[in-house]
Amino acid sequence: MTKYGTLARRAALGTAIAAAAALTVGGIAHADNINDTIEGTASLSLVAGDPASTGSAQVKVVATGADGCNINEGEQFVITFVTPAGVTASPASLTFTDCNNFKTVSFTAAAGAVDGTVTATITTNTTGSGDFNNNVQIPIDVTTPVVVDTDADDDGVPDASDNCPAVANANQANADGDALGNACDANSYAPAAGAAPADENGDEGSALTTTGSFTDADGNQTLTVSQVTGAGAVTDNGNGTWSWSHSTTDDASGSVVVQATDGEHAAATATFDWTASNVAPSVGPVTVTRTSACSVSVNAPFTDPGTADTHSAAISWGDSGTTAVDPATASVAGTHTYGANGTYTIGVSVTDDDGGNDAATATFATKNTPSAILQPINSTGTRSVFKLGSTIPVKITVTGCDGAAVSTLNPTVALFKLDAMPDGTPNETALEVAATNGLQMRWSDTLYIYNLSTKLSQHTGAALTAGTYKVTVSDSSFTGSVSAQFDLRK
């Protein structure tokens, strides 16, 4: 092993100030002539750039004239030191109020200091006549240290130029070009992006996800992954990998930039695109509720994963009628009355603000409307009372959704005995008409009629007995049957 050493470079600037340099001060009025001198010590040697290397000089004022020291009370000499470049005197000046007393001044040499001479410049506030010697000089010899190259790690590269002086690395590899070589730099390599992350395409309302990675030759755990721009959220998995997720309430698209940093080098970045496509609403089922023979109420729920979407809706009633609906909630509702009998397909359609559409259907069949049972049976008011043995006409009319009479039906008549205790006295005229065969009514001009026999009932096969009866007329095309009560008695 070699060690640092120094190679002295000296300038021949004289050996010493052998004796006091005579100085004579003139041109100053004083009662006495001033004939004083300054003495300084030998020359100094300093090492440039070494703050521990200092040199000291002893300086004093001595009398040279017969009158002795001419520094009177209240007077003083001030000696200021002018130094070579790079050399500093401390203090920069000394003040003397008497003779023959040494004072010390120290000198240091900064890096780049040069040889030279310190000049002591003398000023005074004394009065009198005489000459001063302003050329008292102290030679300064500055030594420049010479570094002898060493190789602490024995890798053949001198320490002065070795980027890892304590770790053998003859190849001096330095991936990032900083002050440290790879062998002793824990962060030599910049992060790098892995395979390009896949673009993500999905539907509104669903979770969009993608993943990616970064690498670092110093170890992926040294990386910090973060999101630079874009929607959604990036999760740093702590090992150079990352994951991204985003849920949308509407169709949208964008780009995301992710970066990895190691705290020293330029960040590595990765970019991907994402798209959330519109999803059409889903309609159904359609619920149909009859409110009368020719009227209907409709309700149909719908869903849309794009919760930020707005919607419009329409109900097609199947008879060329359409109702536009502005659904305030996730359902469509409406009512309609048909003007003609028939079976209709009702369609409910919902469209979102992006043009996505869905529809569902249901059917509705109109019914006929029977009248109440007509005279001679009272449907309201005083109950009709017939004599036993009478033939009782049962009559109704039937209209369709257009209000016209319906004549193509076969309504059925049913008879029920309620009790054996008739009320009142006969108030209806006995009729002598032929009884109807079977249980079905027949169309006659403008109405349906059924002649109910009390002598040989079509319903019991025997003569009816005294009591209270209910007659009912029904048909599958009716929304409901119609009934009336009457009494039979002798």
Q: Are residues 479 and 373 in the same domain?
A: yes
Are residues 138 and 48 located together in one domain of the fold?
A: yes
100-109, 210-219, 441-450: lowest mean pLDDT where?
A: 100-109
The alpha carbon of residue 178 and the mean position of all alpha carbons in its chain are separated, in whole angstroms, by 37
Residue 58 has what pLDDT? 82
Q: Let me know if residue 3 belongs to a domain.
A: no
Instruction: Tell me whether residue 104 is in a domain.
Output: yes
Q: 287 and 271, same structural domain? A: no
- 70 pLDDT exceeds 80? no
DSSP state of 365: E
CA 264 to chain centre: 27
CB-based contacts of 128: which residues, under 8 Å, 6+ apart?
A: 25, 28, 29, 30, 31, 32, 33, 34, 70
pLDDT digits (tens, 9 = 90+) for 294-309: 999 999 999 999 999 9
Q: Which of 365, 382, 398 delimits the end of a domain?
A: 365
Q: Quick one: 359 and 396 in the same domain?
A: no
Same-domain check for residues 373 and 475: yes
Residues 465 and 415 placed together within one structural domain of the fold: yes
Range of the domain at 414: 369-489
Q: Tell me how far CA of residue 179 lies from CA of 145, 162, 218, in angstroms.
A: 24, 10, 17
Residue 320 domain-assigned?
A: yes
Is residue 37 in a domain? yes
Provide the token pair at 383. Answer: 């109950």
Q: What is the tally of structural domains in the chain?
A: 4
- Compute, in degrees rounded to 10, the torsion defined by CA atoms 263, 267, 270, 275: 80
pLDDT digits (tens, 9 = 90+) for 88-139: 999 988 888 887 888 888 889 998 888 888 777 776 655 444 444 444 567 7
Mean of pLDDT values over 303-330 = 95
Contact 335, 443 (CB under 8 A): no
> Tokens in use for 361?
């259907």
Q: Are 384 and 432 contained in the same domain?
A: yes
Judge whether residue 19 has pLDDT over 50: no
Phi, psi of 182 (to 5 degrees): -60, -35
Q: How far is CA 372 from the centre of its chain?
A: 71
Assess whether pLDDT exceeds 80 at residue 37.
Answer: no
344, 365, 386 — which closes off a domain?
365
- Report the CATH number at residue 432: 2.60.40.1930
Residue 334: inside a domain: yes
In a domain, 152, yes or no: no
Strand runs (DSSP E) across 327-466, as ranges?
Answer: 331-337, 343-352, 357-365, 369-370, 384-387, 391-396, 398-399, 412-419, 442-444, 447-453
Query: Given this model, what pLDDT does residue 11 score?
Result: 26
Q: Is the four-CA dihedral 433, 438, 444, 450 of positive or negative sign?
A: positive
pLDDT band at 12 (very low <50, low <70, confident <90, very high): very low
458 and 390 housed in the same domain:
yes
CATH code (residue 132): 2.60.40.10
Q: Which is nearest to 109 in space by CA: 81, 88, 93, 92?
A: 88
Q: Using 50, 70 and 90 to split pLDDT, how confident is the model at 361?
A: very high
Residue 76 lies in a domain: yes
Run of H or E including 104: strand 103-109
Whether 231 and 311 map to the same domain: the answer is no
Distance CA 259, CA 225 (A): 6
Q: Roughly how many angstroms between the first and final C-alpha of the chain, as a whole number?
A: 150
Confidence label for 67 from pLDDT (cuts 50, 70 and 90): low
**118 and 70 share a domain?**
yes
Last residue in a domain, options 252, 277, 302: 277
User: Which of 3-12, 180-189, 328-337, 464-473 shows the lowest mean pLDDT across its residues?
Assistant: 3-12
Q: From 195, 168, 196, 197, select the one nearest 181 (Cα to Cα).
A: 168
- Structure tokens belonging to residue 12: 């021949």
Asked if 45 and 135 sit in the same domain, the reply is yes
Q: What is the DSSP string of 184-238?
A: G-TT-S--EE-SPPPPEEEETTSEEEEEEEEE-TT-GGG-EEEEEESSSEEEE-S
Whether residue 133 sits in one domain with residue 27: yes
| pLDDT tens profile 241-297 | 999 999 999 999 999 999 999 999 999 999 999 999 999 999 999 999 999 999 999
Residue indicated by tokens 């590899």: 173
Tell me, yes or no, whether 12 lies in a domain: no
Structure tokens at 107: 């000198």
Task: Please tell me the predicted confidence (pLDDT) of residue 147.
Answer: 57
